[in-house]
Amino acid sequence: MSSTPKLPPGPPHTAANWSAGWYRFARRLDSPNFGARPRDASIDLVVLHSISLPPGVYGGDEVQALFTNQLDWNAHPYFQQIKGLEVSAHFYVRRNGDLWQFVSCDARAWHAGKSSHHGRDNCNDFSIGVELEGLEGDTFETAQYETLQALLAAIAQQYPVQHVAGHEHIAPGRKIDPGPGFDWAVLQRGSDLPAQCFPAL
């Protein structure tokens, strides 16, 4: 597949970079797995995940296939464990930093599941989900941090972001991603968001 347009290195970002919740620097691939947000939702949380299919295998198109309900369940034994799963995220960051988008940020993607953040349940209602190609406990690539930093800056220009959290923080005991291999300090140092937006280091 062709590479995505390269993200700008950082702000300034403008509303011209967005159209109906779609970010111009991401490669668009529409997922059918989304819904409407509550009318009073304030989109103020970004949730980070990690994903690879099969687990620990990088570079294929299986994640894109999963998010678009096109995954061949018989292609690998692991896929039988997730057969029929209908999920999505707004964004997906490949190991090389390429950025994909599956759902408009104005809509509700299906990434968080049963979750709670600062006393609010159902984080899908008010969050933007970003999947990083990786494995819980494994490390992530410099290119992924760079793309994520630029993406967070762009999201914060368009939406009232107050918090960035991992799936592990909003579903503790049920989820462990992106996991101990993710360097929150690196992300925070390269971000324009204040330190209080991130999990305590």
The angle subtended at Cα 68 by Cα 72 and Cα 58, nearest 5°, is 65
Three-class SS state of 41: coil
- Is 131 noted as a catalytic residue in this protein? yes
DSSP state at residue 49 = E
Cβ neighbours, 10 Å, residue 73 = 13
CA distance linking residue 128 with residue 130, whole number of Å: 7
Backbone angles phi and psi of 111, in degrees to 5 = -125, -25
Q: What is the C-alpha to C-alpha distance for residues 168 and 198, in angstroms, rounded to an integer?
A: 13
Q: Is-contact 25 99, C-beta < 8 A?
A: yes
Provide the β-strand partners of residue 18: 23
> Of 131, 133, 136, 168, which residue is the catalytic one?
131
Please report, for residues 29, 39, 74, 146, the alpha-carbon distance to residue 108 in angstroms, rounded to integers and kept in the order given: 16, 11, 29, 25
Q: Which residues are catalytic?
A: 131
